[in-house]
Structure formats: structure tokens, C-alpha cells
Structure 1
Amino acid sequence: MKDLDLDLVIVGGCGHVGLPLALSLAECGYRVGINDIDADKIDEVKNGHVPFREAGAEPLLTKLLPTGRLELSRDPAM
């Protein structure tokens, strides 16, 4: 199997599974695209707020947003 040099991961949804996974991957250095159909949830996350209770997620989100490693979109073609 050929090794690929990829650094972009697409995660479906910024809910209880997708957002923590995306944050963990971004913390490891990956660029992460988060796709969700809920525009309000996307805006909330873009503004640094986690839309549910998850220990340590909001400070990590605040730390990662300025890095450019997180991209949020409603467009599945991102």
C-alpha cells in the first residue's frame, strides 16, 4: 500500500461525536473540515462556543480557532 501525505480530515457534524473528534485531530496538527447541516450550530462553534457540555472542549476550541486548522461549513463539497 502506498503511503499518502495527507493532512486534511473531514468530520461529519459538530455534535457530541464529531466536534470532540475534530478538536482532537486539529490538536494533533491535522487540518479538519467539519460539515454540519445546522447553520446555527456552525456559527456557534465558529464563535468559540461548544453547543453541549464536554469537559475541556471550549478552551481547546478557543485555542484552535485562530490556527486555521478548523474549517466549518454546511457545504458537503467543502
Structure 2
Amino acid sequence: MSCTQLRVNERHQLHALRNSKGLSLRAITLLMARSHTTLSRELHRNAQDIGTYLPDTVHFNMKGGRLLKLPSSRYRQQF
């Protein structure tokens, strides 16, 4: 089983199916062909303070967090 992050279009699909259609998480996993655990973690980890899931904000934060991370210590120049 591969561990891949959700793509931005999958985040939008998750948001639409969950909020507009009101589908259960299990039903969404069947439609998206993703593990229920993956989608559950995505919703729980990335819910805003008000309890809503905003896919654009999540994707922006995920990309920004990656860009700001420092390289691993084995790649840093030793002084």
C-alpha cells in the first residue's frame, strides 16, 4: 500500500462530497477509491478552528510548510 498525500483536486472533491452531498465518510471512500483512514485523518488534522474543512487553505499550508522546512541535518553544511 502506498502512502500518498491527497492532491488538490481530491481535497476539493472530499469537501464537495462531505458538505454539499452530505455523504458519509465510508461512501466518499468508495467514490474516491481512497482509504477511509486517509480521509478521516485529512479531515481531523486539517479542520479549521470553526470545525470546517477548507481544501484551498489546507493545500496552501501543506505546500508552504514544505517550502519552509529546513533540510535534514545530514544535508546541512557542517561548520
Q: Could you say whether these structures have the same fold, taking a TM-score greater than 0.5 normalized by the shorter chain as the test?
A: no
Structure with the larger strand share: 1
Relative to the length of structure 2, the TM-score reads 0.30
In terms of Rg, which structure is larger?
2
Higher helix share: 2
Q: Which has the higher contact order (CA 8 A, sep 6+)?
A: 1
